Structure 1
Amino acid sequence: MSETATVSHRYERTEAPGRDKQARLSALERYFLVDTPREPVFDRIVELAADFCDTPIAAFNLVGDGREWIKAEVGLGRDHWPFAPSICAHAVQAAGSFAVPDLNGDERFSRHPLVTGHGLRFYACVCLETDDGYALGTLCVADREPRPTGLLPRQARLLELLARQVMTELELRRSRASREAESEQRTRSLQLIAQELTEETASREAAQDLLLQAQKMEALGQVVSGVAHDINNVLAAVQGAFAILGKRVGDEQLRFVIEQGHRAGDRAGAIVRQMLSFARHEPVRPRVLRLQDVLPPLETMLCHAIGRRHRCSLMVAEDCQPVLADPHQLDVALLNLAINARDAMPTPGVLAIRAANDRDGRVRISVTDSGIGMSEHVLERAREPFFTTKGSAGTGLGLAQVHSFAATAGGLVEMRSTLAQGTTVSILLPPSAVELTDVTRVAVPSELQGNATILLVDDDDQVRAITAELLRDQGYQVREARNGPAALAYAALNPIDLLLTDIAMPGMEGPDLARHLRHDREDLPVLFASALAEALDPAAGLMLVKPFTPEELSLHVLEALGRLPAGSAKRLSGGPLEPPRLVRHLRDDRLRLAYERWAAIRGTRRLPSLDDFDVDGLALDEMMFCTVEPGTPEAKVRVDRLGEALERRLGRPLDGLPLAIGDEDLFGSMSGAYRRCQATLAPEYDWARFRMGGESIRIDRLVLPFAADSIRVSHLVGVILFTEPSEGARHVDNDSP
């Protein structure tokens, strides 16, 4: 019996359930077939189809959204079918096989270009279906002659087998592509994990290095602190002895020798303070400095530091304004810059130190060398702590100390450098709003001295002996004790008018001794002394730092006895004063009003309480209320409330948050303001000009200190005004500070 195939029943097949267009197109995309080139495996399959079906044409084609393209073909010589009316697009709507014995006689396809233009008459296909029933395209055969009986059964079965083979290949490639994608994803994930591990390892190593450096500095600080304590005790005895000799010796030649020894002792004291400053064991002690007086004496030391092979010069402008800064930290900063300049000049060069008023009203102290200069990358990193270009020979702390000094003094550091030409480092400081007092003119009122018995307690025999002799020269009766128990025994049997005691002593320390004596006599005056300023607690009472001059000793004793007003010793011995000319510099009504409210509640207290501060009518939108967090050596400042105008300037709220570096760039360093206000027990005012948005804007800042205990600054209130060029109606044309 001859083989025949019945095809009429296949014309009426309806679309299978779930064969919606979008789902079919999504299935097609999963196989990564769109617009891919021909592949040999599919070429062989269509060749077999044409051969076994005895047709001149065979093709593996795919049906997309509005387009139809050929993945493999025989006898066509093209890579796409005309889409509308598409024979294959019609076929994929039906399940299984599809055949048209005579395309010319089928009204659906009789006008197809392949029929009218290329004489195609017979068409048969098997849909390429996924496991979930979506047809991607067809494996088809065609002839230019009609075939009324269609394909033979064995040809139809073979075409179905070849279609399954196509789908098997497609499933394999999809599985392979999926595995490759998963492998790539895993590789990327592993690479990311490896990168994170590398970064974490580097971060931990950097943190460990910083910790090691910090531990080294802490250990160094402990050593320096102990050495400084002993040296300051020695200096107290030496300086006191020179002071006594200076008063009792009349021979001019001997007096000259004594004066030179006294100056050498002063230099030794400065060196100790520099050591403590490096080790962060020395509190900041700002003073009003006239640079015309304090810088020229440094020229010899700085020139000696860079060596004779380099030329060195120092010049200070006559009109240079005074600044408020710690003189010893200024010495250290300039010495650091000079040493850096020396190391940057491998051949004989020039070091120039200049101080003058800057155009924006600040004071500029610049150090310029003719050395090798720095690249932009090195210049950018130069301010980082522990960064050094000197290898093991450098610590990386020099410029960090310079930046720290400038920030503490309310200023900043600018650096300019050109390779092979040299470097200029400038310290820009605000002019002082505090009056400059001439300490050398202070005369201790001799009529107030004497007529009192002082119990002097110190475990250092030399310091105790010299201090006792200085006090006797001032007319006092002095009783000496080398420790707490001996002092208690004497005081139990004899009246005393003042206890002058060292703080750190073996067995019983000075504060414990004072508490025991005040148990029986609450009003006993006490003056504490210590070779380390860090050991002095402001809440404990009046304090004297070794080494001290006879004048400092006299003033502190008189204040402790109540013969001078509170604060006299600090003021008359050169400490910063309450700024009487500060009000003259407050060029805005809002600043003056805030200052007057602060001054009104201060009264006779060292510092007023924030609870008493009346804010009614003040410019609250332009004010910042801050709390100094206790127990933080670096004085962290937390913002309690930020005015709306300042919040708009910053672009975000700050309430309840600590001030970050970027915030302090805009509002100024409140941590630095805290340290200066604590040192001076007075408000701080400064101003500067900046360029914002192409315009010059003036920023005025008044910082008012408050204390819960009248001694330690616990709160700061800042009034910060941004003045645009067009503003000025509320300003008064006072002289700038």
Structure 2
Amino acid sequence: MNDSDSRDGPAPSGCDIDNAARAAALDRYGILDTARERVFDDVAEMAADILDAPMAVVNFVTDERQWFKAEVGIGRNELPLDVSICRHAVLQPGVMVVPDLSQDARFDGNPLVHVVEGLRFYAGAVLQTPEGVPVGTVCVLDTSPRPEGISRRQERALRALAAHTMAQLELRRTAALAEAETARAEKRGQRLSLLAQGAALLLAADDAATMIRDMFALLERPFALDTCFFYACGDNDLRLVAAMGLPPEIEQQAGRLEYGQTICGVVAQTHEAVHLSRIQDLDNPDAAFLKAIGLQTYLSSPLMRGNRLLGTLSFGRKGPAFSDGELEVLQTLVAQTATAVERLRADDRMRESEARFRNMADNAPVMMWVTDPSGVCTYLNAGWYAFTGQEKGRGEGYGWLEAVHPDDRPAAERAFVTANAERRNYRVDFRLRRADGVYRWTIDAAAARFDHDGTYLGYVGSVIDIDERKVAEAELEARVAAALAEQALTEDALRQSQKMEAVGQLTGGIAHDFNNMLAVVIGSLDLLGRRIGIDDARSRRYIDAANDGARRAANLTQRLLAFSRRQPLNPEPIDVNRLVTGMSTLIRGSIGTDIQMETVLAGGSWRTLADSNQLENVILNLAVNARDAMPEGGRLTIETQNAHLDDRYAAAHIGVSAGQYVLIAVTDTGEGMSEDVIAKAFDPFFTTKEVGKGTGLGLSQVYGFVKQSGGHVKIYSERGEGTTVKVYMPRLVGADVAHCVEEAVSDAPVSEQGEVILVVEDEPAVRQFSMDALGMLGYRVLEADGAAAALRMLEAHPEIALLFTDVVMPEVNGAKLAELALERRPGLKVLFTTGYSRNAVYHNGVLDVGVELIGKPFSIEELATKIRQVLDLRV
């Protein structure tokens, strides 16, 4: 088999590896320039025997040379790379066979080939790492050419020897790694042993000086230490606590150091360790002390706990610098020493604290106790033994449970054991036997103790006689329950308020659309009624019936607006006593003779600012509801009071402000309501009456008006016990400020002068009715379907005396139109009309001062009266 036979496929990418990858692989194996080894010599000899060649080599190719790990018949261990034949073999996979090197152009000029008795035949198998990196070959050479190449059997043998060589390299590498790891492990073991011994002596130490001496004795031989010393922090300086290896005179001189003085002082000042080597060669004033005692290597480290400096710990020797491993051990011991120093200081403080505590506890007016971390009681004060009568010392351990009531003992023990296991504060009530044998309720409470680093220390607790407090505790629990119930009511009130607001927005929008439609219906019926003669009784009856239905529908929309808090209000100062008295006859006629009516009016009643018509409707609504709740008769009481709602009440009722109110309470002795009914009573369209007996808007209207007026309404009722509805209206304080016009209207007034009125309405049907009605009343009428047309009409007709405009219109609303009109025509009279308007001409439900409004739908009589009223106003 020749070279071409061995390359019957493309070379894998793993063989085309750069020199850097090959150098890295050889470095991992650590094979270059090592002594000869029998296993590799055997490979070279077997290759020479199998291929009957005088020369055989196991070699590795670098970027500079070809180095022989094993060779037969060569007599040297390396060749320069430029004469290497194997450097070509590593560039292809498998086996490279060259029958006659002198005939191969790759080796022209190669001195190993082109000399007398030079090399002629070559066959080599590549040595390839598991990652595919070629690092060398197993090859044979001959000075005679072999035109026939090599056989298949010889090729397989050569491949097998190459694979065997790589396997030996891997084993060799693995063994070297294991050996190195073993050495490292031995060192780690030695260091861990030192650390463990150091930790043990630090843990067992009772004082700092002995602790440092023991540590020096532990480290002196392994680390070849010559000296060790420990400085502790004083108030303003460092004080030498322990020193080993210092001459007595130097130790005396170094007894106190200022911060920043010598290396130890610098370390204390900076909180950073310093490691010096070759000290005798240093020109450092701070190291003069170290040079004086002949040290070459020195490590000084701060003893830190968190951000607090406890002192410095230093090690020195006359030998070379500390290795990384030695520094790691020393720094670990430094950290452990800091912990130990802190512990020793804490122990000193603890002993002092315990002495003070026992003195304080024995003189305390309560029973006190202490446990260790396992839960065993280690101390009970004199107060405990005086109260329980136990023999001194008997309560320690778990003896204290003997004084606990047998029925309470299991729970008390379980609570204590659980709390101690969870390292949390402990509290339990149990009955404790007094010295006279009487059991008294006590509270046993304790705080878990931890030291500065979080180590659990046990409990310090106290036992207090609370027998008299049990009654007070029960009362407190009742108050807490009441507060929780009040909170639940507040949350319910918030949900109810949000629901009512959402429904109110919906109903307000519906009312607006209804009013526009009803304005056309009622207006058209009014006009039709005026055109039909009095003698046409049948037509008159039909018109009256239609008018009655439309009026009832209009009343329904007014109730919707009242509930949604969108109706315009005309507030005025009201004396509620006078209002109730004035309504007495109306109410008595509405409730019938089977029901007795009583009014209880408060003396010196405050006044409120409200729409009197709407407030009368509220009282009448409540009275009629009360009547319906007493089908068999009963008593209706209407009561007025001056009331005050405090901050606590306001906080529990969403939307209620604390302050002074005028209270109107309507009480019946009827069937009462369940809690479910009360929760829905103010919902629109909710009723408990039979179908056709009610709209479900009465209480909704009450709710909407009262809320719009800044008041509050509350229902108190129980099934079979009657119902009280309390209406709180804000008290009026200060001057009487109200816009109130009262005028008795009989027949519809007509125009005597034929004044000109401009009707502005975007709904054609409503606009037409308004024009027809005004024309019938004797007015001259002009029309516009929007603000732009209206402004043009005002410019063209200076005789216009009144602008009669809808409020809600697209693009420019009625309020903005009036503003623009008055800029052009100061003194122009304006009358607004609307079926629903949120903020255009009134705010917070109250008409703006000087604004005149007639609500949709309206009759011709109402229109005539309002038009005349506005025209007759003095500007």
TM-score, normalised by the number of residues in structure 1: 0.40
Higher alpha-carbon Rg: 2
User: Could you say which structure has the greater relative contact order, defined with CA pairs below 8 angstroms and 6 or more residues apart?
Assistant: 1
TM-score, normalised by the number of residues in structure 2: 0.34
